[in-house]
Structure 1
């Protein structure tokens, strides 16, 4: 089969549906191949008129299907496509996108994409590169007594147990003592989105938790934004929402301005570069989680080779002054992004959630959220009548992005939003 692709234009595969990303890619090159799974076609309302501009659209049932990803690779090869970039911006397309890279010869390391998802292989490679990580051990079969005994004997408690390829703290639990380990393991319900039940156990790291969101061109960050969670993700459900005694919002993060913390940015950037080299990350968006111990040491937690979820992508768009999808498209294909012009000097985002589990009886709509002075963006994901279980920190209800001119004004705004924009529930049943 001969190629009909015009020379001189980059050829890009986009995995999963995003109107903004596909449109931004098509503004750069006509040679965009889009791979959609059943979730995209059933629930994400793809714009088929926009997709008609793509070179080709592939429909598959699941990005974890080796057969379907192999078929996509074979068709691209038979069409004499010469793919320059594969962009996967969601967690559950990472394995498939990585496998596609291997099949198309875009990487020589067949386990590279596995290390992007499997937290054991990820930490092993990062630690070998000299980056501090928590002590950890694989828990491949939680039903084996010797595997469980190895955790007790190897790690210092408290520990954190999590799925090896999980995300968003779903299925992640903190275990305080060795005696709590076995009953905790017996109570874990596997995440239905994951195919593997294997777990990893690691020592709990005390201190402040940051997320670092960047876009890379080789070793150069086109943008790098350090944000601090108000509470470490594992403690989000420990207290009730609303401003508490120390006036800390219960769930969200705020951008740490580089001008306010140049030393932190320098240390984080150095650590991030080491992580990238250890894992073979040479471009694209990343979302890194790192802890700062009370003594100031930075400890690597994990990294995702995709844009962040929840409220973070919208905050990054406000930091850039334009949509994050445009930055990703231009950064991946051209190695450059438009000039960064933050909409406000101080930015951040909050997850609005109810005080406890139950059925939602009242939740502000997006118009109500945007009516609060200082709220720049709003997104509602739940409605009255929906149930909230509080099973994990990533059970999203509503997001708001906030902006202010000073740090003090921003913190006052965050407290006011928590107080004014409430989600009410009644006990289930």
Structure 2
């Protein structure tokens, strides 16, 4: 099989060589110089370096043709989904069209489809009314229609404040407004094959991604299986016509027990989700997604741990990269039986995604990252909550040099 890989997700997160036999298939990776440099040197493949991350589809189209004999296009990044459709069309390959893919990329089209399907979701507006208020008055969220990782998301005390913020944006048409939902935020991660959800694991956040973007730590811990969560996920997948690949669905559970959609992505979840899911289920999400998308046999499952898994992330994008920081971890957390691994980063130069400038959740790019597990999901949640409250990443003020100005 001749496979074109749009290589955007860090190679260490995917491990393509563990999912595809590079001796049996002809594989070409298209990506930036930094992403191509991640590919193991000994791997049998073609490497095509593009001129930066912008205009991905156009660059690939300029370097390929139908006569090349491509049989598959593989794109595992949220930021390559729409571009992959254009590449497939250029190469004459089957796959979901742009209209279907916009349901899982454009947050307005996404929620409009859920209106028709009867899935509970926040009230929203693509643009505020030309005159008169929004149809709600309380806390309101302004977010990019095609965004991810909570980049550019703002929360406002009133709908009126949100509208004022929206109208002051340089490109307001790229944003939408929605009512703020009070409740616990959960995420569901699993696989879809021929429209069927499988290997689903649901986790609960400690904090929210929008808090992380603002500089606060967040955590997430797995929950016992709940048929309500599975049914809700299946309803969303059906409404948005998701046919294959990974899903990362975020939704609220209110105090009254109501499940309310937030957003969904047809890709791997970030942070430590791949590792936590693998340890809980024995399924490596990326390897199984590749098999599903390429029509290959799914890999064998590994032995599950029997524990519930989670992680905590401490952001570095609000730190000054020119100054050192200190991470303080209380001894009770270092000695806790739920702690599996503590990653501490010492190099300030790599606390953000240098290529895209976006907030990063990668454990090797943040000051501190905790991996945890416990046979009791309640104890796991308590430990992760304690981590977010008690671990401190600080940048002490520099000490004035002798003879310097008085403090």
> 1:154: how far off?
3.4
Number of corresponding residues = 379
| Residue 7 (structure 2) aligned to one of 15, 21, 24 | 15
Question: What is the Cα deviation at residue 206 of structure 1?
Answer: 1.2
Aligned to 1:48: 41
Summarize the Cα distance change of 1:409–1:57 in structure 2 as closer, same or farther, 3 Å threshold: same
What residue is the counterpart of 1:133 in the other structure?
121
Deviation at 1:160, TM superposition (A): 0.5
Matched residue SS, 1:94: helix
Instruction: State yes or no: 1:93 paired with 2:80.
Output: yes
1:342 corresponding residue in structure 2: 304
Rate the CA distance shift 1:69–1:288 in 2: closer, same or farther, 3 A: same
- What value does the CA root-mean-square deviation take over the aligned residues? 3.7
3-state secondary structure, aligned to 1:363 = strand
How far the C-alpha of 1:230 sits from its partner, in A, is 1.4
Q: Name the structure 2 match of 1:228.
A: 204
SS at match of 1:206: coil
Structure 2, gaps ≥5 residues long: 400-407
Q: Give the equivalent residue in structure 1 for 2:49.
A: 59
Following the alignment from structure 1 to structure 2, what is the Cα–Cα distance between the partners of residues 200 and 132?
18
Q: Deviations over 1:166-221 (max 9, x none)?
A: 1111110111124423553477688xxxxx96101011111111111111211333
Change (3 A) 1:151 1:158: farther
CA distance in 2, matches of 1:380, 1:254: 20
Work out whether 1:255 is the aligned partner of 2:222: yes
The 1:45–1:34 alpha-carbon spacing in structure 2 relative to 1, beyond 3 Å, is: closer
The question of whether the paired residues in 2 share the 8 Å contact of 1:236 and 1:251 is answered with yes
Q: Residue 286 of structure 1 contacts residue 303 of structure 1 at CA under 8 Å; is this kept in 2?
A: yes
Aligned pair partner of 1:375 in 335, 339, 344: 339
Q: Is the 8 A contact 1:13 1:34 kept in 2?
A: yes
Distance 2:228 2:163 in 1: 38
Q: Find the aligned partners of 1:392 and 1:198 in 2 and give their Cα distance.
A: 17
**Alpha-carbon deviation of 1:377?**
4.2
Among residues 153, 157, 166, which one is paired with 2:138 in the alignment?
A: 157
- Once the two structures are TM-superposed, the CA of residue 393 in structure 1 deviates from its matched residue by 7.8
Query: Of the candidates 9, 14, 20, which is equivalent to residue 26 of structure 1?
Result: 20
Structure 1 position 326 matched with structure 2 position 287: yes
CA distance in structure 2 between the aligned counterparts of 1:208 and 1:427, rounded to whole angstroms: 36
Aligned 8 A contact 2:82 2:101 in 1: yes
* Deviating more after overlay: 316-325 vs 121-130: 316-325
TM-score when normalising by structure 1: 0.75
Which residue number in structure 2 is paired with residue 118 of structure 1?
106
Report the CA distance shift for 1:374/1:293 in structure 2 as closer, same or farther (over 3 A): closer
Aligned partner of 1:79 in structure 2 is: 68
Which residue matches 2:372? 402
Instruction: Report the equivalent of 1:305.
Output: 266
Alignment-derived partner of residue 60 in structure 2: 69
Q: Secondary structure at the match of 2:126?
A: strand
Q: Any unmatched runs of 5+ in structure 1? A: 1-8, 140-146, 191-195, 242-249
**Inter-CA distance 113–382: structure 2 relative to 1 (3 Å threshold):** farther
